[in-house]
Amino acid sequence: MAVDANTPVTALKGVGKTAAESLQEMKIETIHDLIMTFPYRHEDFQLKDLADTPHNERVTVEGRVESEPSVLFLGKNKSRTQVQVLVGRHLVKAIFFNQPYVKAKLHIGEVLTLSGKWDRGRQVITVQSHSIGPKTSGADFEPVYSLKGSIYQKTFRKLMRQALDLAKDDLEDCLPERFLSNYHLPSFQDALEWVHFPPDGEMLKQARRRFVYEELLMFQLKMQSLRKKNREEEGGSFINYDLEKLKNFIQTLPFDLTPAQKRVVNEICKDLREPFRMNRLLQGDVGSGKTVVAAISLYAAVTADMQGALMAPTEILAEQHANTLAQWFEPLGLNIALLTGSVKGKRRQLILDQLAGGEIHILIGTHALIQPDVQFSKLGLVITDEQHRFGVDQRRVLKDKGYNPDVLFMTATPIPRTLAISAFGEMDVSVIDEMPVGRKEIQTFWMKKDMFGKILGRMEKELAAGRQAYVICPLIEESDKLDFQNAVELFQQLSSHFHGKYTVGLMHGRLHSDEKEETMRAFSEGNISVLVSTTVVEVGVNVPNASFMLIYDAERFGLSQLHQLRGRVGRGSEQSYCVLLADPKTEMGKERMASMTETNDGFVLAEKDLQLRGPGDFFGRKQSGVPEFKMADLVHDYRALETARKDAEKLVNSEEFWSSDETKCLREHLEESGVLSSSRLD
Ligand code: ADP
Ligand code: MG
């Protein structure tokens, strides 16, 4: 029988019943599946110098037996054999567990090769494998696979060897030749051989480089073709804005735009002018001034005789935006309207009529803005504040109504660039990476829990000066109940502490949304001095008079979340303070607290968070969107990711990619992944 990559693995020699079951459990059906199952690490049998080997690491050494071995029997089938071995200039103890028979093989003066764990302090090697004589020239690296069922590594390795020898040469190299030569990447065949059975460490590294690049390129091809498809096939609007009017408006602002704001305004305007549909993510740390960028963009649409919409996650935020925009635009004769769930009856009807008649230029609101009966006359641009709350469904609603507006998503969550271009790979990304000048940096302190009383004193000083404070307690997803209790207890404690002096309010996820809005409003109007809250405190809430924040059990939060929370203070002209109350148990926890006190830069913290917690945890469980890679690691391979993104963009925008033979294999992969046949939004 001719064997090729599509032959079932069971055709390989030595696949018995157990092996077949294990392979099935691992979803390895064909020889190709087997070959593409990469080891997660390699056992390294290269000879190492003990002086360079860290404590507790596995090491392979050659040495000479220096003492008579001794065996200690420790009970049933248990024993410890011990011998002195001279390794280079180190006299170490080699310990063999449960192999009393080795004693007979160990003679003074004999040379041994030992592999095992190195205990630097005790100068002991706990031997895992050994051979008599100097190290043979055999493989320095043995692959270790992540296996299921009861198949042995050794059996799996043998099958792999067989599979590679039989079928490796049948497989097609998907990467065009010029990529291999440009980046000095090994061929698919070489890389396959080396990723499983590397002749040396360098080859393993090169094999890994190739697969990382290939994987990221495939992924980015998917994202970039999606992007292209979205832009071209959904037919966006050509918003021919009036540049002079925009410039004049910017002149009337009470401040100068920061260079970063100018840059992103340009990026957005360029998109508006193009006939494509804009699909852009605007990132900017809390307080970086995204609202004015949104306002300018909306105004651009209006000067092109189109309407704009701004969607916020809560009524309070929508009101806030409406007030700001009305202040800026009403002097220019623009009609700004607010539509939320609480706008009802005649007022609502009037707004709907004016909207359909094109009299309203900019509509601001919550989700109420995309209800079925809300009809625009010519919607050109939709902006959403806090991108993650505006999902695919809402965009579909707009599309179903016959609108294909340009879309701008704003988020205050700083997302490390590597994650941004993977999780949001089909979007364009603009970043406001600097703050307006003259901001007072929030002063952040980390204190132990037993300092609580003292901190309350400090808080009271702020309250006495007429300012307000937040007290945040953590949200423990697993235990909504416990969480709620924490907040309630703190609320009671603080209520009695400040009794007769300051009003304390309580906010948590179990409140009805009306109650939440009401409490939030009371706080923003200054009728509540201290707000005890779980993390439901809305992102974007702007109460400039709040100058003090206490975060309880701060070690339970991720860095990005702490930074978001902290961004609720420091919004006014007064010096603001943030106190992290935490007794972290781990080094990582301590490092997180320290980082918070060291920087106010959300992007620095986000990068740090990514390093400490990894990409999977970065967005929290729910809205990850970060793909899982077989080889690539978004933290370490960010350069490869950038390169792959650029290459993919160039490819999908070139004629030849869609027709040439050289890229046929890449196109087939794309087809398999389903991108070319259907868009994610449909
Ligand atoms: P965010 O990006 O968090 O939404 P905002 O848009 O609410 O930030 O801006 C925060 C504050 O900074 C607002 O009071 C806004 O008027 C002000 N602001 C925005 N841009 C500038 C600037 N270039 N110079 C000075 N102040 C600015
Ligand atoms: Mg904002």
Co-location of 527 and 570 in the same domain = yes
* Closest listed residue to residue 47, CA positions, set 32, 62, 35: 62
Coil vs helix vs strand at 152: coil
CA gap 631, 209 in Å, rounded:
9
Co-location of 529 and 588 in the same domain = yes
Q: Are 139 and 160 in contact (CB under 8 A)?
A: no
Residue 303 lies in a domain: no
Co-location of 540 and 452 in the same domain = yes
The number of the ligand nearest the C-alpha atom of 290 reads 1
Residue 621 lies in a domain: no
Co-location of 63 and 171 in the same domain = no
Å from CA of 247 to ligand 2 middle: 22
Task: Tell me the per-residue pLDDT of 462-496, one tens digit each, with 9 for 90 and over.
Answer: 999 999 999 998 765 445 555 566 788 889 999 99
Using the 3D structure, point to which of 193, 212, 231 is the last residue of a domain: 212
Residue of 252, 255, 384, 563 to mutate, ligand 1, most atoms within 8 A of C-beta = 255
Q: Is the pLDDT of residue 353 over 70?
A: yes
CA gap 370, 598 in Å, rounded:
42
User: Which amino acid is residue 541, in one-letter code?
Assistant: V
pLDDT tier, 623 (very low <50, low <70, confident <90, very high otherwise): very low
Q: Are 263 and 407 in contact (CB under 8 A)?
A: no
Co-location of 33 and 168 in the same domain = yes
Q: Is the pLDDT of residue 642 over 80?
A: yes
Å from CA of 627 to ligand 2 middle: 28
Co-location of 499 and 572 in the same domain = yes
The token duo for 113 is: 């090769």
Coil vs helix vs strand at 650: helix
Task: Tell me the per-residue pLDDT of 241-272, one tens digit each, with 9 for 90 and over.
Answer: 999 999 999 999 999 999 999 999 999 999 89
Task: Tell me the per-residue pLDDT of 511-536, one tens digit each, with 9 for 90 and over.
Answer: 887 888 888 889 989 999 999 988 76
Q: Is the pLDDT of residue 580 over 50?
A: yes
* Closest listed residue to residue 239, CA positions, set 383, 365, 336, 374: 383
Atom of ligand 1 nearest to the CA of 286: 3
Å from CA of 482 to ligand 2 middle: 31
Using the 3D structure, point to which of 110, 132, 154 is the last residue of a domain: 132
Residue 652 lies in a domain: no
Q: Give the pLDDT of residue 681.
A: 34
Here the contacts of 636-642 (C-beta below 8 Å, separation 24 or greater) are 637/212, 637/216, 638/417, 638/418, 640/209, 640/212, 640/213, 640/216, 641/216, 641/220, 641/418, 641/421, 641/422, 642/421
* Closest listed residue to residue 155, CA positions, set 4, 28, 7: 28
Co-location of 17 and 75 in the same domain = no
Cα–Cα distance list, 104 to 132, 134, 635 (Å): 12, 18, 50
The token duo for 533 is: 């809250």
Number of domains in the chain: 3
Could you tell me the residue range of the domain that residue 167 belongs to?
9-42+141-212
Q: Is the pLDDT of residue 677 over 70?
A: no
Co-location of 201 and 62 in the same domain = no
Phi, psi of 41 (to 5 degrees): -160, 175
Co-location of 462 and 552 in the same domain = yes
Co-location of 86 and 195 in the same domain = no
Q: What is the mean pLDDT of residues 587-599?
A: 90
pTM (global) more than 0.75: no
CATH code (residue 104): 2.40.50.140
Å from CA of 287 to ligand 1 middle: 5
Q: Give the pLDDT of residue 624.
A: 45
Residue 635 lies in a domain: no
Co-location of 90 and 191 in the same domain = no
Using the 3D structure, point to which of 107, 132, 157 is the last residue of a domain: 132
CATH code (residue 537): 3.40.50.300
Mind giving me the DSSP string for 340-408? -TT--HHHHHHHHHHHHTT--SEEEESGGGGSTT---SSEEEEEEESGGGS-HHHHHHHHHTT---EEE
CA gap 531, 542 in Å, rounded:
14
Task: Tell me the per-residue pLDDT of 312-340, one tens digit each, with 9 for 90 and over.
Answer: 887 878 888 999 999 999 999 999 999 99
Co-location of 488 and 595 in the same domain = yes
CA gap 79, 507 in Å, rounded:
62
- Contacts of residue 362, defined as CB under 8 A and 6 or more positions apart, other chains included, come to 298, 299, 302, 307, 308, 309, 310, 325, 329, 334, 335, 336, 337
Q: Give the pLDDT of residue 674.
A: 65
Task: Tell me the per-residue pLDDT of 417-429, one tens digit each, with 9 for 90 and over.
Answer: 777 766 677 778 8
